[in-house]
């Protein structure tokens, strides 16, 4: 099959009309434009076919690599992230357990994915267990599965672990992602212990991942649990919160529409994996042991979050002192001039 025939075959699948006259006459300009349109359409065509929120086959390593190449420089310019501890990640199956920040925008998720792709390769980029509502939304349903997101349920996680791969979870879910900004320095998991039972049942270690700064991309006045109960929005949104937020460009808003994150600095630490002495269904059904394991994970993550918060505070203070020093020096030079 000739290159022209191959191109026309892909174009047919993308429903893109190519200029046959340009092929016949060798019109380089027209052909260049056609190839460019085809490349864009073909990329989105691949994403738009991914609708099964439970399939592991949707994930495309090339999409992850493209994302790292395109989004990485933007994320690093905007958030100036510091990511440490990637060498703590063990081989084989494991459960990344993360604190959740910034609502649905969750910039630390993308920063971690880019860092893992760059430093460890796409095999160590986890399959993310995502909320069913997010996975079924029209736009995210077209994009997230190609990057390895699947619907959050134990069966999907089991299939990932059985393949020797890694899973990422946010145990706090909406309670953590939409916690009030006054609680930005807390890891909020609430009563949820399913992540511990999952790790015990599957016999995999937990890799705690802690992020500081990414909840400062907006301001959460209230998580709106009282409002959700009042309006009974949990019945159709499948979430217990209805946050009241302040963000760019929307200002004061009820709900969490897409927004422009503030350019704050984000620090991420990947902690050493936590291995549990017991595993299997019996350990997962032991409520007291599950609570003990949960407290071990939560304590480690809370301590790390407090340290990262302190690091960010010290850096801000250092930058402020440096700025004041420069301003004083300039004023001194001006007065003597």
- The pTM of this model reads 0.81
Quick check: 71 and 39 in contact, CB under 8 A? no
pLDDT for residue 13: 37
Rounded-to-integer distance, Cα 246 and Cα 243, Å: 10
CATH architecture of 51-218+261-322: 3-Layer(aba) Sandwich (3.40)
pLDDT for residue 38: 52
- The number of beta carbons lying within 10 Å of the beta carbon of residue 91 is 9
pLDDT for residue 331: 85
pLDDT for residue 14: 37
pLDDT for residue 274: 98
Query: Quick one: how far is CA 227 from the chain centroid?
Result: 27
pLDDT for residue 245: 97
Q: Cis ω on the peptide bond leading into residue 249 (within 30° of 0)? A: yes
Compute mean pLDDT per 10 residues along the chain, 337 residues long, and list them: 43 43 53 54 48 87 95 96 97 97 94 97 92 77 87 93 96 95 97 97 98 97 95 84 96 94 97 98 98 98 98 90 86 78
CATH 3.40.1130, the chain: domain bounds = 51-218+261-322
pLDDT for residue 53: 87
- The number of beta carbons lying within 10 Å of the beta carbon of residue 2 is 7
pLDDT for residue 37: 53
């Amino acid at each position: 099959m000739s290159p022209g025939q191959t191109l026309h075959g892909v174009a047919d699948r993308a429903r893109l009309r190519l200029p046959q006259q340009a092929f016949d006459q060798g019109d380089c300009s027209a052909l260049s434009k056609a190839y460019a349109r085809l490349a864009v359409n073909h990329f989105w065509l691949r994403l738009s076919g991914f609708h099964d929120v439970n399939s592991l086959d949707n994930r495309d390593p090339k999409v992850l690599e493209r994302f790292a190449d395109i989004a990485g420089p933007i994320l690093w310019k905007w958030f100036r992230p510091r990511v440490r501890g990637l060498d703590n990640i063990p081989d084989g199956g494991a459960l990344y357990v993360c604190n959740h920040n910034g609502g649905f925008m969750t910039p630390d998720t993308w920063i971690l994915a880019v860092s893992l792709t760059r430093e460890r390769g796409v095999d160590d980029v986890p399959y993310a267990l995502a909320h069913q509502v997010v996975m079924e939304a029209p736009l995210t349903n077209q994009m997230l599965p190609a990057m390895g997101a699947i619907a959050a349920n134990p069966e999907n996680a089991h299939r990932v672990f059985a393949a020797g791969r890694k899973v990422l979870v946010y145990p706090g879910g909406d309670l953590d992602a939409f916690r009030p900004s006054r609680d930005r320095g807390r890891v909020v998991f609430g009563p949820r212990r399913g992540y511990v039972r999952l790790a015990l049942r599957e016999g995999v270690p937990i890799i705690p991942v802690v992020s500081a700064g990414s909840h400062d991309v907006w301001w959460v006045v209230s998580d709106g649990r009282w409002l959700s109960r009042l309006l009974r929005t949990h019945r159709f949104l499948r979430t217990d919160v209805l946050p009241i937020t302040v963000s760019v460009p929307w200002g004061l808003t009820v709900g969490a529409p897409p927004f422009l994150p503030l350019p704050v600095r984000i620090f991420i630490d990947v902690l050493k994996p936590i291995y549990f002495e017991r595993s299997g269904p019996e350990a997962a059904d032991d409520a007291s042991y599950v609570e003990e394991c949960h407290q071990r994970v939560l304590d480690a993550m809370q301590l790390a979050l407090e340290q990262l918060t302190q690091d960010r505070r010290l850096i801000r203070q250092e930058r402020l002192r440096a700025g004041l020093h420069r301003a004083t020096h300039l004023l001194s030079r001006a007065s003597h001039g």
